[in-house]
Amino acid sequence: MDYYRVVGPLVRLLPAETAHDAAICALRAGLVPAGAAFDHSALATECFGLSFKSPVGLAAGFDKNAAVVDALLAQGFGFVEAGTVTPLPQPGNPQPRMFRLKKEKGIINRLGFNNHGADVFVANLKRRKKAGVLGANIGRNKNSPDAVSDYLTGLERVYPHADYITINVSSPNTVGLRDLQQKTQLVALIKAITAKREELAEMQDRRIAVLYKIAPDLNLQQKQDIVEAALTHSVDGLIVSNTTVSRPSTLQSHNRGEQGGLSGEPLKTLSLAALRDIRSLSQGRIPLIGVGGIASAEDAYGFIRAGASLVQVYTALVYQGFHLVRRINEGLVQLLARDGFRNIASAVGTGE
């Protein structure tokens, strides 16, 4: 039963951030029923040295403090990415800072990496059952004088507890953060992160993948620079993409003029185009996670055929609830069978 058909309209009467906080509380209290199990051999896939029961994951931003990872995995996700977490706690930007665009099924947020800091994040991870793939998304503190140092601190703190780590250099809501995508700064960051990761891998006898999450608003030269840096320095993968600061002219919702990053269905065209560009520029040599506007099995399949080995959802859950995960997984199995693909891996990049 899709309980969200009843609960969803009531939840959406609350302010967007209040509704999000209520969802976290409900998950923590065990009030959200686990998703109906749906496993299929066609959905199982390998990426970054990890095994995923499904290619459909939860994007960073929902569980910033890794408070309900196990409850989220129980909804049927193949993996969950927690964060973004910063070394020190920070309140984020002034409220209100999250706005629904109901007509377009989108959201604008300017949260600003609000989180309880690495100490709480790690403590929560230590308590989990560790059943399922967990990604940790790390960022810099707003007022930190040294961004690279913040990322190295975050990497060191979460490394023992995550299955992969994402370096967030693309949120539009922390001043100067997106500058880290520029070639010189990005190369310096990648070198520092790579050296630290190799040190940690040797110390802990465990080498995990480090990914970089990029913006959808990059021009072609910027995308080329990122691909060259990623290939030159053996980056494990890229997540394409974060929210956009652009605004499609078709937006009609009254919140369309709010400052911040736009996500959800209005982002899909831009994020899919960015994914195609990165896939083409890299000639398929960099594993990719596709995210941004995925709201159905057809959307997820489109991203996979455009080159994504895995996909992530978030904003669509606001409008459809967690039952969406099962619908996407079931739909992917049907779409793969329709087109003669045995599994997800065999469909990746076939729509180029």
Active site residues: 171
pLDDT digits (tens, 9 = 90+) for 92-110: 999 999 999 999 999 999 9
* Residues with Cβ within 8 Å of residue 109, at least 6 apart in sequence: 16, 61, 97, 98, 99, 173, 243, 260, 261, 263
Q: How confident is the model at residue 10 (pLDDT cuts 50, 70, 90)?
A: confident
pLDDT digits (tens, 9 = 90+) for 217-235: 999 999 999 999 999 999 9
The whole-number average pLDDT for the span 150-165 is 98
* In the chain, where the domains are located: 4-347
CA angle 249, 254, 259 (to 5 degrees): 75
Q: What is the pLDDT of residue 286?
A: 97
Q: What is the pLDDT of residue 321?
A: 93
The whole-number average pLDDT for the span 133-160 is 96
In contact, 117 and 87? CB cutoff 8 Å: yes
Q: What is the pLDDT of residue 7?
A: 73
Tell me if the domain spanning 4-347 has CATH number 3.20.20.140: no
The whole-number average pLDDT for the span 248-262 is 94
Rg of the chain in Å (alpha carbons): 19
The whole-number average pLDDT for the span 120-129 is 94
List, in sequence order, every residue forming a beta bridge with 312; answer none if it has no partner: 57, 291
pLDDT digits (tens, 9 = 90+) for 301-311: 999 999 999 99
Q: What is the pLDDT of residue 6?
A: 62
- Average pLDDT over the chain, rounded to an integer: 94
Q: What is the pLDDT of residue 352?
A: 67
**In the predicted structure, residue 14 carries a pLDDT above the cut 90:** no
Q: How confident is the model at residue 22 (pLDDT cuts 50, 70, 90)?
A: very high
In contact, 287 and 253? CB cutoff 8 Å: no
178/111 Cα distance (integer angstroms):
15
88/141 Cα distance (integer angstroms):
7
Q: What is the pLDDT of residue 3?
A: 61
Q: What is the pLDDT of residue 4?
A: 66
pLDDT digits (tens, 9 = 90+) for 266-304: 999 999 999 999 999 999 999 999 999 999 999 999 999
* Residues with Cβ within 8 Å of residue 291, at least 6 apart in sequence: 59, 239, 240, 241, 271, 311, 312, 313, 314
pLDDT digits (tens, 9 = 90+) for 162-195: 999 999 999 888 888 888 888 899 999 999 999 9
Q: What is the pLDDT of residue 180?
A: 86
List, in sequence order, every residue forming a beta bridge with 288; answer none if it has no partner: 238
The whole-number average pLDDT for the span 79-83 is 97
Helices (H) then strands (E): counts for the chain: 12, 13
Walk across the sheet containing 106-109 and list its strands: 98-101, 106-109, 261-264
pLDDT digits (tens, 9 = 90+) for 58-70: 999 999 999 999 9
Q: Which residue has the higher pLDDT, 183 or 9?
A: 183
287/280 Cα distance (integer angstroms):
12
Q: What is the pLDDT of residue 175?
A: 80
